């Protein structure tokens, strides 16, 4: 017999995720852009978000690190610690070892689409249950944040 | 994000509208005309689709503006303007309180009658909406990228700011003309009321608009005889540079106006050559008068309004400038005075008249040149009626009030007494069509109607009486608006839709003009509020005497700090809440138990402050009121209030679990 069973925990997670998706519907259901109103919810792409490759600096750009730090304090610190402790979202310790630079920039600048399309991002949502908010971070600012993360992880 | 309730409500309302449309019940004993068979498809806006027009509707005695979609009639937003709003904290937050300041102190209500949308070259440009406060004379400016009140200006020497805020074709000026003539602000007002004829004066203010910031400024006032000004329109096209005001009570009665102000056969439409007035002011010929009025401006970077008292106004006395004002005799207490899209015709509606007189701007210019005067009224030349008359619309109906235009040579006049709209040809003055309204129409509005290029597709009637049009709700009923299709020869009723308050005038503009210019967030980097906490690291609590300031941050889904101790009875606690979100449609709310004011709603990137007085010992929970995430319910915290004189030290935290130092002293043995 090959019956699939849901554990209570899995059911709860699925339910919570469903509630979350519903509650955040106005963000999630592809709100209308410039041209016309969306007719219905977009079906998520089967896989993947087009993550751009990102070149990193060696050695670190000190100005970027400083700018990234103040950006972190203003827009990220509420939910992310610099240790490996999870607050609302995962702690940042070793994040640059777990994720590619491109993934970090994509997640920072475009969390809405990443949460719709990227399996790793979706997995994080299942763990954290709070959608990472779009904090209106530009590509340039994301690069500075990345620099700060790399410094936090010991890069020189 | 929307709340559950508002979503449910919208869904229910949509279903009800649809059901209502299908059911299409005939009012018992009412007029028989119902919507045409294809009406439903003409007003149906499918889920997720947008309306064609934003309709900016005055709220009358609710002091607010309602924003509706046309043709669906769906309510999109209520904008608090002259009335406080417990929902958003408008008028309660420390930042918005100054907007409602006046020379009489804070006035948290007004009667909002008319809307004027900003124009460029005689067309809507989608920058600002202006509105009048009728009771304590004021003007307001609403930014059409935020749909929030940006500015309120008090009008001195005025009482009952009714003929307001009509606008010139390049938004050079909006006007504010007094409905009640009164003794001027720098005179002793302690006079017998029956000395009206000697002591009461009228005032018309020309308020200039800064074309960049939109800021309003009283450029000058024109002192007038003690008339009552009712409504107004700017000239446009060929009549640009002129303004037309209807007046009643040329009898200068001060009691039982119903009879005593209707004695004369004709009152006036007063024509003002404002370009001339501008020249006289520029030449330094206006006199300064001492006044005291408030000018309140909201700053979107400090997220705070400031109120400034102003002390002086420039005044022109028309007896010194004989080419400034002209009186056009107009039958029977004229109400609306409206200029057609070409600017040639001025339509005045005598409320008690059996005809609608239409005046010609060209003829008026000739009459002025030829001095075709029949006399003067307090020194102001009165033009000969026949010399300026284009013609009269014969037997239009009863009780004509207001006229709008479709840009195809037709005029539409609302008839209060006979409860109908009459369509007539401006040139030939022939009545072409009439439709009933349910019931007793006041204002009517065509999108772009008062501009040089009306969008002659829809027309909305704002009715004064609702009676049996909707499910009854006790003695007080919803307001009755009706949408008509005016694209063809015959006017067709399409839709009833309920509105809030008591709408008077409304203007509508194409959605495409402003839809993509909407402000989605306030950038946290640009927040210069003195108590902003731009990041959780800046959250803190500080005491200054009996004032305690809390720099609080809000982000999905926690408030920082969320444990505050060391507050004492008698303290005034200022919760300065900064919303750290930078995503559209994620406001956070803040409410604390026992607040005898309101909640505050804080938009992304914004800081707003709720002042709260500690009056009792105990634990006071606070929480986010705007459903924000799956863990919204967890977005909560506690404030501990100790007795006055307690030694519990000020202490705040989030995510740690330490008690305040010296805690023991607060615990009674």
Q: Which phi and psi angles does A80 have, rounded to 5°? A: -120, 125
Task: Decide if A88 and B557 are in contact by the 8 Å CB cutoff.
Answer: yes
Task: Decide if B631 and A130 are in contact by the 8 Å CB cutoff.
Answer: yes
Q: Are residues B184 and B314 in the same domain?
A: yes
Q: Which of B535, B538, B629 sits opposite A24 (nearest CB)?
A: B629
Task: Decide if A130 and B630 are in contact by the 8 Å CB cutoff.
Answer: yes
Whether B283 contacts B191, CB under 8 Å: no
Closest residue in B to A131 (Cα–Cα) = B629
DSSP assignment letter at B546: T
Q: Are residues B58 and B205 in the same domain?
A: no
- The mean pLDDT of B370-393, rounded to a whole number, is 97
Q: Which of A16, A39, A77 sits opposite B630 (nearest CB)?
A: A16
Q: Which domain holds residue B481?
A: 35-79+417-519
Q: What is the 3-state secondary structure (H, E, C) of B349-391?
A: EECCCCEEEEEEHHHHHHHHHCCCEEEEECCEEEECHHHHEEE
- The mean pLDDT of B371-380, rounded to a whole number, is 96
Cβ neighbourhood burial of B296 (10 Å; 0-12, 13-18, 19+): buried
Task: Report the complex ipTM.
Answer: 0.76
B669 pLDDT more than 70: no
Task: Decide if B630 and A39 are in contact by the 8 Å CB cutoff.
Answer: no
pLDDT tens, residue by residue, B311-322: 999 999 999 999
Task: Decide if B583 and A27 are in contact by the 8 Å CB cutoff.
Answer: yes
Residue from B638, B624, B622 nearest B579 by CA: B624
Closest residue in A to B604 (Cα–Cα) = A135
Chain B residues whose C-beta is within 8 A of a chain A C-beta are: 1-2, 46, 48-50, 516, 521, 523-525, 534-538, 553, 555-558, 560, 580-586, 627, 629-632, 655
CA atoms of B506 and B495, how far apart (whole Å): 17
pLDDT tens, residue by residue, B538-561: 999 999 999 999 999 999 989 999
Whether B344 contacts B362, CB under 8 Å: yes
DSSP assignment letter at A51: P
DSSP assignment letter at B60: B
- Lookup: tokens for B452: 């040089």
Model pTM score: 0.88
In chain B, residues with a C-beta closer than 8 Å to the C-beta of A67 are: none
User: Is the CB of A26 inside 8 Å of chain B's CB atoms?
Assistant: yes
pLDDT tens, residue by residue, B340-359: 999 999 999 888 888 999 99
What does the pLDDT read at residue B123? 98
Q: Are residues B621 and B532 in the same domain?
A: yes
- pLDDT-based confidence at A48, cuts 50/70/90? confident
Q: Are residues B71 and B85 in the same domain?
A: no
- pLDDT-based confidence at A155, cuts 50/70/90? very high
Q: Tokens 């899995």 — which residue?
A: A10
B404 pLDDT more than 60: yes
What does the pLDDT read at residue B261? 85
Q: Are residues B296 and B148 in the same domain?
A: yes
Q: Are residues B106 and B66 in the same domain?
A: no
What burial letters (b/e) apply to B207-243, b meaning 16+ CB within 10 Å? bbbeeeebebebbbbbbbbbbbbbbbbbbbbebbbbb
In chain B, residues with a C-beta closer than 8 Å to the C-beta of A133 are: 555-556, 581-583, 586
More confident residue, A113 or A19: A113
What does the pLDDT read at residue B608? 98
Q: Which of B477, B499, B519 is the last residue of a domain?
A: B519
Which residues 67-96 of chain A have a CB within 8 Å of chain B? 73-75, 77-79, 87-88
Residue from B121, B124, B211 nearest B169 by CA: B121
Q: Which of A38, A87, A136 sits opposite B521 (nearest CB)?
A: A136
A27 pLDDT more than 50: no
Cα separation values, B96 from A84, B119, B216, B548, Å:
42, 27, 18, 20
State which H helix or E strand residue A146 sits in. Answer: helix A139-152
More confident residue, B632 or B97: B97
B16 pLDDT more than 80: no
- Whether B106 is covered by a domain: the verdict is yes
**Cβ neighbours around B85 below 10 Å, total:** 19
DSSP three-state, residue B537: helix
Please tell me the distance in Å from B439's CA to the nearest CA on chain A: 35
What does the pLDDT read at residue B661? 67
Task: Decide if B582 and A88 are in contact by the 8 Å CB cutoff.
Answer: no
Q: Are residues B92 and B220 in the same domain?
A: yes
Q: Are residues B122 and B138 in the same domain?
A: yes
Computed over every residue of chain B, the mean pLDDT equals 93
What does the pLDDT read at residue B313? 98
Residue B519 has, within 13 A of its CA and on its CB side, a CA count of 15
Task: Decide if A133 and B537 are in contact by the 8 Å CB cutoff.
Answer: no
- Whether B179 is covered by a domain: the verdict is yes
- The mean pLDDT of B508-527, rounded to a whole number, is 98
Task: Decide if B629 and A23 are in contact by the 8 Å CB cutoff.
Answer: yes
- Whether B394 is covered by a domain: the verdict is no
What does the pLDDT read at residue B663? 52
Residue B185 CB partners (closer than 8 Å, separation 6+): B156, B157, B289, B290, B291, B292
pLDDT tens, residue by residue, B442-493: 999 999 999 999 999 999 999 999 999 999 999 999 999 999 999 999 999 9
Q: Which of B50, B521, B630 sits opposite A129 (nearest CB)?
A: B630
Q: Are residues B74 and B95 in the same domain?
A: no
As assigned by CATH, the class of the A58-156 domain is mainly alpha
B575 pLDDT more than 70: yes
Please tell me the distance in Å from A45's CA to the nearest CA on chain B: 21
Q: What residues are paired with B206 via a beta bridge?
A: B175, B220
DSSP assignment letter at B140: E
CATH number at residue B619: 2.60.40.420
- Whether B373 is covered by a domain: the verdict is no
Selected residue of A16, A19, A20, A23 to mutate for chain B interface (largest B Cβ count, 10 A): A23
Task: Decide if A133 and B516 are in contact by the 8 Å CB cutoff.
Answer: no
Please tell me the distance in Å from A19's CA to the nearest CA on chain B: 7
Cβ neighbourhood burial of A125 (10 Å; 0-12, 13-18, 19+): buried
Q: How many CB pairs under 8 A join A and B?
A: 89
CA atoms of B535 and B513, how far apart (whole Å): 36
- The mean pLDDT of B433-443, rounded to a whole number, is 97
CATH number at residue B155: 2.130.10.10
Closest residue in A to B520 (Cα–Cα) = A136
What percent of chain B clears pLDDT 90, i.e. is strictly above it?
Answer: 88
User: Is the CB of A33 inside 8 Å of chain B's CB atoms?
Assistant: no
Whether B223 contacts B176, CB under 8 Å: no
What does the pLDDT read at residue B560? 96
DSSP three-state, residue B628: coil
Q: Are residues B477 and B574 in the same domain?
A: no
Q: Are residues B462 and B550 in the same domain?
A: no
A129 pLDDT more than 90: no
Strands (E), B19-136: 53-58, 64-70, 75-80, 101-102, 105-106, 112-120, 123-133
Q: Which of B501, B519, B537 is the last residue of a domain?
A: B519
What percent of chain A clears pLDDT 70, i.e. is strictly above it?
Answer: 70
- Lookup: tokens for B344: 């040639």
Closest residue in B to A76 (Cα–Cα) = B535
- pLDDT-based confidence at A9, cuts 50/70/90? very low
What does the pLDDT read at residue B33? 53
Q: Which of A37, A40, A77 sits opposite B536 (nearest CB)?
A: A77
User: Is the CB of A15 inside 8 Å of chain B's CB atoms?
Assistant: no
pLDDT tens, residue by residue, B281-312: 999 999 999 999 999 999 999 999 999 999 99
pLDDT tens, residue by residue, B85-118: 999 999 999 999 999 999 999 999 999 999 999 9
Cα separation values, B653 from B152, B204, B440, B551, Å:
40, 57, 61, 12
What does the pLDDT read at residue B662? 60
Whether B165 contacts B132, CB under 8 Å: yes
- Whether B133 is covered by a domain: the verdict is yes
Q: Which of B484, B519, B554 is the last residue of a domain?
A: B519
pLDDT tens, residue by residue, A53-77: 999 999 999 999 999 999 999 999 9
Q: Which phi and psi angles does B491 have, rounded to 5°? A: -80, 135
Whether B498 contacts B470, CB under 8 Å: yes
Total number of domains constituting chain B: 3
Q: Are residues B535 and B498 in the same domain?
A: no
Strands B228-234 and B216-224: unpaired
CA atoms of B175 and B224, how far apart (whole Å): 14
B648 pLDDT more than 80: yes
What does the pLDDT read at residue A41? 42
B6 pLDDT more than 60: no
- The mean pLDDT of B199-225, rounded to a whole number, is 98
- Whether B85 is covered by a domain: the verdict is yes
CA atoms of B305 and B66, how far apart (whole Å): 22
Closest residue in A to B517 (Cα–Cα) = A34
- Lookup: tokens for B8: 């449910």
- pLDDT-based confidence at B30, cuts 50/70/90? very low
- Whether B352 is covered by a domain: the verdict is no
B3 pLDDT more than 70: no
Q: What residues are paired with B359 via a beta bridge?
A: B346, B389
What does the pLDDT read at residue B35? 80
Residue from B551, B578, B555 nearest B564 by CA: B551
Whether B167 contacts B235, CB under 8 Å: no
DSSP, residue by residue, A72-132: IIIIITTTB-SSS-BSSS---TTHHHHS-HHHHHHHHH-HHHHHHH-HHHHHHHHHH-SPP
- pLDDT-based confidence at B31, cuts 50/70/90? very low
Q: What residues are paired with B441 via a beta bridge?
A: B463
Q: Tokens 């006199």 — which residue?
A: B287
- pLDDT-based confidence at A90, cuts 50/70/90? very high
In angstroms, the first-to-last Cα distance of chain B is 48
Query: Strand order in B345-350's β-sheet?
Result: B334-339, B345-350, B355-360, B389-394
Residue from B485, B578, B573, B488 nearest B531 by CA: B578
């Amino acid at each position: 017999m090959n019956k699939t069973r849901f554990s209570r925990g899995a059911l709860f997670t699925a339910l919570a995720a469903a509630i979350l998706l519903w509650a955040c519907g106005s963000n999630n259901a592809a709100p209308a852009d410039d041209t016309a109103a969306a007719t219905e919810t977009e079906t998520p792409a089967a896989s993947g978000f087009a993550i751009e490759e990102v070149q990193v600096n060696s050695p670190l750009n000190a100005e970027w690190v400083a700018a990234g730090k103040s950006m972190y304090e203003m827009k990220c610190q509420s939910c992310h610690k610099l240790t490996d402790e999870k607050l609302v979202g995962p702690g940042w310790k070793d994040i640059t070892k777990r994720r590619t630079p491109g993934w970090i920039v994509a997640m920072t600048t475009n969390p809405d689409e990443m949460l719709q399309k990227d399996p790793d991002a979706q997995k994080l949502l299942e763990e954290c249950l709070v959608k990472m908010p779009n904090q209106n971070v530009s590509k340039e600012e994301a690069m500075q944040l990345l620099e700060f993360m790399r410094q936090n992880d010991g890069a020189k | 994000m929307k709340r559950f309730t508002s979503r449910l409500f919208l869904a229910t309302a949509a279903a009800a509208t649809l059901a209502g449309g299908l059911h299409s019940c005939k009012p018992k004993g009412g007029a028989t005309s119902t919507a045409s068979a294809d009406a439903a498809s003409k007003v149906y806006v499918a889920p997720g689709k947008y309306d064609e027009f934003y309709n900016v509707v005055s709220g009358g005695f609710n002091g607010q503006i309602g924003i509706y979609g046309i043709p669906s009639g769906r309510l999109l937003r209520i904008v608090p303007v002259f009335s406080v709003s417990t929902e958003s904290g408008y008028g309660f937050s420390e930042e918005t309180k100054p907007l409602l300041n006046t020379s009489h102190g804070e006035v948290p209500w007004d009667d909002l009658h008319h809307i004027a949308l900003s124009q460029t070259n005689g067309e809507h440009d989608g920058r600002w909406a202006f509105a009048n406060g009728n009771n304590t004379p004021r003007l307001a400016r609403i930014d059409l990228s935020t749909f929030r009140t940006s500015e309120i200006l008090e009008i001195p020497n005025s009482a009952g700011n009714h003929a307001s805020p009509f606008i010139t074709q390049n938004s050079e000026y909006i006007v504010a003309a007094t409905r009640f003539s009164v003794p001027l602000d720098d005179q002793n007002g302690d006079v017998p009321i029956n000395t009206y004829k000697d002591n009461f004066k009228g005032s018309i203010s020309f308020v200039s608009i800064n074309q960049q910031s939109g800021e309003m400024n009283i450029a000058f006032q024109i002192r007038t005889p003690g008339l009552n000004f009712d409504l107004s329109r700017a000239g446009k096209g060929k009549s640009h540079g002129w303004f037309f005001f209807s007046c009643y009570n040329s009898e200068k009665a001060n009691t039982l106006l119903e009879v005593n102000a209707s004695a004369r056969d004709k009152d006036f439409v007063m024509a003002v050559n404002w370009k001339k007035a501008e020249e006289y002011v520029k030449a330094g010929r206006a006199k300064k008068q001492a006044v005291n009025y408030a000018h309140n401006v909201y700053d979107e970077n400090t997220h705070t309004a400031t109120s400034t008292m102003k002390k002086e106004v420039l005044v022109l006395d028309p007896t010194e400038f004989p080419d400034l004002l002209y009186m056009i005799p107009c039958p029977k207490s004229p109400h609306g005075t409206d200029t057609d899209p070409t600017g040639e015709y001025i339509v005045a509606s005598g409320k008690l008249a059996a005809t609608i007189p239409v005046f010609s701007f060209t003829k008026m210019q000739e009459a002025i040149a030829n001095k075709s005067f029949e006399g003067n009224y307090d020194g102001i030349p009165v033009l000969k009626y026949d010399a300026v008359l284009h013609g009269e619309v014969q037997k239009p109906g009863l009780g004509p009030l207001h006229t709008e235009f479709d840009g195809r040579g037709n005029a539409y006049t609302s008839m209060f007494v006979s409860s109908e709209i009459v369509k007539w040809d401006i040139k030939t003055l022939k009545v072409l069509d009439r439709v009933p309204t349910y019931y007793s129409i006041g204002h009517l509005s065509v999108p772009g109607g008062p501009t040089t290029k009306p969008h002659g597709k829809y027309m909305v009637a704002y009715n004064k009486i609702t009676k049996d049009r909707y499910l009854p709700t006790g003695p007080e009923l919803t307001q009755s608006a009706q949408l008509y299709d005016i694209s063809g020869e015959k006017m067709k009723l399409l839709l009833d839709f309920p509105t809030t308050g008591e709408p008077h005038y409304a203007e509508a503009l194409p959605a495409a003009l402003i839809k993509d210019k909407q402000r989605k967030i306030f950038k946290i980097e640009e927040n210069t509020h003195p108590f902003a906490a731009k990041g959780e690291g800046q959250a803190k609590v500080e005491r200054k005497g009996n004032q305690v300031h809390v720099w609080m941050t809000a982000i999905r889904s926690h408030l920082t700090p969320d444990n505050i101790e060391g507050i004492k009875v008698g303290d005034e606690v200022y919760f300065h809440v900064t919303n750290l979100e930078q995503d559209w449609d994620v406001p956070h709310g803040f409410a604390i138990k026992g607040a005898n004011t309101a909640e505050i709603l804080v938009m992304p990137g914004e800081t707003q402050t709720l002042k709260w007085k500690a009056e009792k010992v105990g634990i006071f929970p606070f929480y986010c009121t705007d459903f924000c995430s799956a863990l919204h319910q967890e977005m909560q915290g506690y404030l501990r209030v100790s007795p006055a004189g307690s030694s519990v030290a000020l202490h705040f935290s989030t995510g740690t679990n330490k008690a305040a130092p010296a805690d023991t002293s607060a615990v009674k043995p």
